[in-house]
Structure formats: structure tokens, C-alpha cells
Amino acid sequence: MIKPIGSDVLQPLFVYDTDEHHALRHEAESLPSVIISSQAAGNAVMMGGGYFTPLKGFMTVGDALGCAENMKMSDGSFFPVPILCLLENVDAVRGHKRIALRDPNVEGNPILAVMSVNAIEEIGDSQMQLMTEKVYGTTDKEHPGVAAFNDQGRFALSGPIKVLNFSYFQTDFPDTFRTAVEIRNEIIEHGWRTIVSFQTRNPMHRAHEELCKMAMEAVEADGVIVHMLLGKLKAGDIPAPVRDAAIRKMAELYFPPNTVMITGYGFDMLYAGPREAVLHAYFRQNMGSTHFIIGRDHAGVGDYYGAFDAQTIFDEEVPEDALQIEIFRADHTAYSKKLNKVVMMRDAPDHAKDDFVLLSGTKVREMLGNGIAPPPEFSRPEVAQILMDFYKTSK
């Protein structure tokens, strides 16, 4: 089985030992505490589940700047983006070596993790600008990821953490949320050796379904893991429960039995395009995937990134030998009227635009909102029905 990054075994930061867990919870109630940002909470959940192995906690500013500039921390270890705990105000925890981190996304702000504080550092404007520019490729506050990153505060708390729960993800998505540890165990149970992962924050239409099948066939995979983001998205994106239902219906009806694992992870979308693609590959290797699909404008938003920047970054910027996972590079995929099947556009050079069934996201949402199913060449009718039901009730 493919090894985790920088380690022979996963290093989840969730406290599984019952006695230690109980003792930490008891200690945490008497510790100074802060409510952290949603982005920091997502970082804690990912570290808790082993996805960010071998990180032990939140980075120092120096390590974060190194990751932003060249994807390397001060000790030379690879990580593609800064993993920070940023706060606007640190008065409640200044001078304390042990603190509790509270969850901003759950009522009552329960304790999410206990941190041993190594440093509290204030980030300067130029440092924040550098990290923003390097990770997001822009400092435009209209970019949702840039806005979320810069609105957290300028005080960085660094140090190792011990995670006590998985926020709302385990309770709200009990059938879908999985840690990297759980996914590796499930891969072993399936007896899979070659595994393709597909990232999604949207429902899967016909082209996505066929892309997964193309990748599986190309690499002779035993199975595909549809791994959906369950955290915060931008306004207008389809809610996670609706996506989950649509994807499950598609897998049930249109994939061979025992070839699809439908899972999700607890993290807020960064919309960081190429850098987020590298992060996605990073934690897919940690969860046991051998191959990862990256298509056009992966993890992008608006017009901030080139169509294939999320693929070329692996050739041009990712340090050599940093990742073992292989990237399956996909082009835009659509139904060909000439060939009566879904193809990658690069594989049909004799086609004109009108030879494909192409619908914009805006057009699809408009159709679904009006109770009109997209053509079956674009979306499976059973999937379209779930989405139409959602739009009907959300009006």
C-alpha cells in the first residue's frame, strides 16, 4: 500500500486512547480558551484524521512562509500551503502554555483540541501579502479564499495539538465523513491495490461519472474513491447533503458493485486553484490513493487561474520526490454527439464545439430551478431529479 508522506504510518492527532481522551477533556475545561476560525477548525479536523501527516500541529510564521514560498518548512519537510491558527485577539491566552481551542461551527463552541503553545506571533502586512499571493495567486479580496484567509486575524498561534472531536462532520455526515485512517482500513478490507481518487464540491454529472471510469480503466484501478468536501463553500454552491444524495444515487445505478467508495472530509474550500490541487494530492496519498484525477480549473474560482495550471504545477513547482501519488491529467469531458459517448475534448480533435453537449453551470442551475431536467447526455435523470427537488424546496 502507498505510504503516507514523510512517515511509514499515518499520524492522526485525534486522541483515540479512552483514558487520555477523558483526562484531556477534563483538563481542557480549566484551560484558557479561544474560539478559532472555521479555517483553523478545518485544519484541526484534517490533522486529527491523519490527512495532514506528519504535521504535529499549527505552523509557526516562519514555517508558513516557507510553505507559501517553496512548499517547504524550515526543516525541509514538504507541505504545499500554510496551516495556521490565526486570531484577531490573543489576550485570553497570552502567556499560557496550554490552551483549549473551541469550535466556531458548533453551537456552544465545544472544545475541539488542546494546544501546547510554542509561540504567539504577529504577522506583518508584507508577510500576509506574500502568503496570500503565493498560495492564491492573487491578493484580490473578491476572491473568496483570499477574503477568508485574510479575515481571520493577524496573530498566529503555533504548537502541537491533540484533537478531541471532529466538529460537526461526524454527526452531520455519519455515512460519509471518514478519516484518512478509516479510508485506509476500508481500502484494505476491499483488497484494493490501485485506487483512483476524485475530488468534488459539486454533484457529479455524466461527464464526472465517465471521467472516473476513464481513469479507472487507464490505470487498471480496483476502485475509485469519490471524496467530497463537506466544509464551508461559497454562496450558491450545492449543500453537502444534496451532493451526497446525488452522488450516491449515481454510484448505485451506474457503477459496477464494489468499485466505488463514497466518502467525505471536513475542510473549508480554499478555492486556491493550483496550490489547492497539490494539497488535495497530498492528503489523497495519505488516505491511501495511488492516483488522483485533476481536470481543468481544479479547485478554481472565477478567472483567477489558467485551465491547466493545477496540472502544470506538479511539473514546475512541486519538489521532486515530494509525492508518490500519480496524477491522472484530464481535459474537459463532455458527451460527443458524433460518437454517442462521453469523451475528453483533447481526444476528439475533429470535433467542433457544436458536436458536444455543453451547458454552462448557470444554464444548468436555471434549468433545474425551473424543474427542467438537463438532457440525459449531460446528467443522469435520477441525479437531475434530486437536484430539481432541492431547487424546488429552496425557492
Report pLDDT digits (tens) over 28-71.
999 999 999 999 999 999 999 999 999 999 999 999 999 999 99
Q: Choose, from 25, 98, 154, 202, the residue flagged as catalytic.
A: 202
pLDDT at 281 over 80: yes
Q: Is residue 202 part of a domain?
A: yes
Q: Is 156 in the same domain as 203?
A: no
Angle at 311 between CA 309 and CA 313, to 5 degrees: 70
Q: Is 64 in the same domain as 98?
A: yes
Global confidence as pTM: 0.94
Question: Residue 344: what pLDDT?
Answer: 92
Which among 170, 199, 222 is the end of a domain?
170
Mean pLDDT, residues 3-25: 97
Q: Which residue has the cell 468536501?
A: 229
Q: Is residue 369 part of a domain?
A: yes
Q: Is residue 3 part of a domain?
A: no
Q: Is 186 in the same domain as 106?
A: no
Q: Choose, from 98, 154, 201, 365, the residue flagged as catalytic.
A: 201
Q: Is 179 in the same domain as 154?
A: no
Number of domains in the chain: 2
Phi, psi torsion values for 58, nearest 5 degrees: -80, 145
Q: Is residue 9 part of a domain?
A: no
Calculate helix-pair angle for 240-254, 381-394, nearest 10 degrees: 160
User: Does 202 participate in catalysis according to the annotation?
Assistant: yes
User: Does 248 participate in catalysis according to the annotation?
Assistant: no
Which among 170, 191, 210 is the end of a domain?
170
Q: Is 85 in the same domain as 199?
A: no
pLDDT at 227 over 70: yes
pLDDT-derived band at 249, boundaries 50, 70, 90: very high
Query: Cis omega before residue 80 (within 30°)?
Result: no
Q: Is 149 in the same domain as 183?
A: no
pLDDT tens, residue by residue, 111-154: 999 999 999 999 999 999 999 999 999 999 999 999 999 999 99
The range of the structural domain enclosing residue 266 comes to 174-394
pLDDT at 395 over 70: no
Mean pLDDT, residues 199-221: 93
Q: Report whether 286 contacts 72 (CB < 8 A).
A: no
Question: Residue 140: what pLDDT?
Answer: 97
